[in-house]
Structure 1
Amino acid sequence: MSSDAPEPDAPAGTEDEDGAAAKLFDEWSVEDIEYTDPSTERYITVTPIAHTMGRHSSKQFKKSEISIVERLINRLMQTEENTGKKQQATRLTREAFEIIHERTDENPVQVLVRAVENSAPREETVRLKYGGISVPKAVDVAPQRRVDQALKFIAEGVHGDSFKSPTEAEQALADQLVGAANNDVQAYAVNQKEEKERVAAAAR
């Protein structure tokens, strides 16, 4: 049976039967996304698929092949109140993207990519023990962990702004992404990144 929709695991750039490139949420193009950080580029995958049904969940390091949008959606679910509510998290993300487009007149996928790049810490600290004494030491952060940390900070910022607050979750998400994309230190994700790097610099 033929269908107008692309296959669920179709890669970015897949065309539908009319020859048009598939779009995220049937609205946002995933073509011509620009990357400014070469170290994280291969770990920020952009595809028109927002739900892969966990087919990479049991494969080590395969999460980097999942769309950065779906990874954000999964991160938004990782709280006690939203666990397992993927449809709700997907709807919030779709509505937040619409708010971002209205506010910035940019492709919200591009804004998300820039937000992740700006929120990814380059250094952090580990604790080493020398003769029973615990000493902090600065270490470089692996590119894949940088992306993980950025998504974590963004999700934490959204939860902090919207939980038990009059701010709607989609508005909070849009605020966090736009702030992080503009490298605004007032944005929670950028603030956390700066704090991690500051602590690491002091531990050198």
Structure 2
Amino acid sequence: MAATEQSEVKVGIDPAEIKLFGKWSFEGVEIRDPSLKRYISLKPVWLPHTGGRHEHRRFGKAEVPIVERLINKLMRPGRNMGKKHLAYNIVKQAFEIIYLRTGENPIQVLVRAIENAAPREDVTRIMYGGITYFVAVDVSPQHRVDVALKHLTEGARMCAFNNPKSIEECLAEEIIAAAQGDTKSYAIRKKEEIERIALSSR
């Protein structure tokens, strides 16, 4: 196929027809938290794999599809590092489980989980006259998304460790619980703990 024909095919695609994993539509997915709108990318993609094109641009990861950022976080510890296809399949199957249990679009459930699990306040260490003390600070929106994704994947990993439950089931349960604001979710408990410490450090 000639380059011109390929470009014509790409131009003719309606964004509503593009579905994640060929199943889940990005249409109608809403972000309720106004501060996170710019940092949760819901650009329609079939395959969440950008190949690290954002790497050398400041705030470039804000343009990476949010599902791909979840996949990347699953690869974090040394044992799973670089195994993107494995992480991709875990998220794909977790989304199927989320749909079967909730009947909702898994992308919307993930967005709600990130909004609920993102801490608004944290503490920073300040040294003054040889004395170290902690001061409460507001968390930037970009960091809020990072922390929420980290805790969601961490909770799933801890749940699946030494457990007959698969990582896919654990990830699905973690995302559903966080989306509902349930304290059974590791991410929600961590967020409340961070905010409680910050409140006592004001």
TM-score, normalised to structure 1's length? Answer: 0.91
The sequence identity of aligned pairs, in percent, is: 49
Structure 2 counterpart of 1:16, one-letter code:
I
Partner of 2:36: 40
Structure 2 counterpart of 1:40, one-letter code:
L
Structure 2 Cα separation of the partners of residues 149 and 194 of structure 1: 13
TM-score, normalised to structure 2's length? Answer: 0.91
Structure 1 counterpart of 2:114, one-letter code:
V
Partner of 2:150: 152
Q: Secondary structure of 1:134's partner?
A: strand
Partner of 1:200: 198
Structure 1 counterpart of 2:147, one-letter code:
Q
Partner of 1:117: 115
RMSD across aligned positions (CA): 1.9
Partner of 2:181: 183
Partner of 2:27: 31
Q: Secondary structure of 1:177's partner?
A: helix
Structure 1 residue 47: Cα displacement: 2.8
Matched, 1:16 2:13: yes
The answer to whether the Cα contact below 8 Å between 1:25 and 1:48 also exists between their aligned partners in 2 is: no
Going by fraction, where is helix more abundant, 1 or 2?
Answer: 2
Gaps of 5+ in 1: none
CA gap 1:130/1:183 in 2 versus in 1, 3 angstroms: same
Number of aligned residues = 195
Structure 1 residue 190: Cα displacement: 0.6
The answer to whether the Cα contact below 8 Å between 1:77 and 1:84 also exists between their aligned partners in 2 is: yes
Q: How does 1:65-76 map to 2 (within 5 A)?
A: 65-76=63-74
Structure 1 residue 15: Cα displacement: 6.1
Partner of 1:141: 139
CA gap 1:34/1:129 in 2 versus in 1, 3 angstroms: same
Structure 1 residue 61: Cα displacement: 0.7
Structure 2 Cα separation of the partners of residues 20 and 112 of structure 1: 19
Give the one of 167, 170, 174 matched to 1:169.
167
Structure 1 residue 58: Cα displacement: 1.9
Q: Secondary structure of 2:114's partner?
A: helix
Structure 1 residue 60: Cα displacement: 1.6
Gaps of 5+ in 2: none
The answer to whether the Cα contact below 8 Å between 1:73 and 1:86 also exists between their aligned partners in 2 is: yes
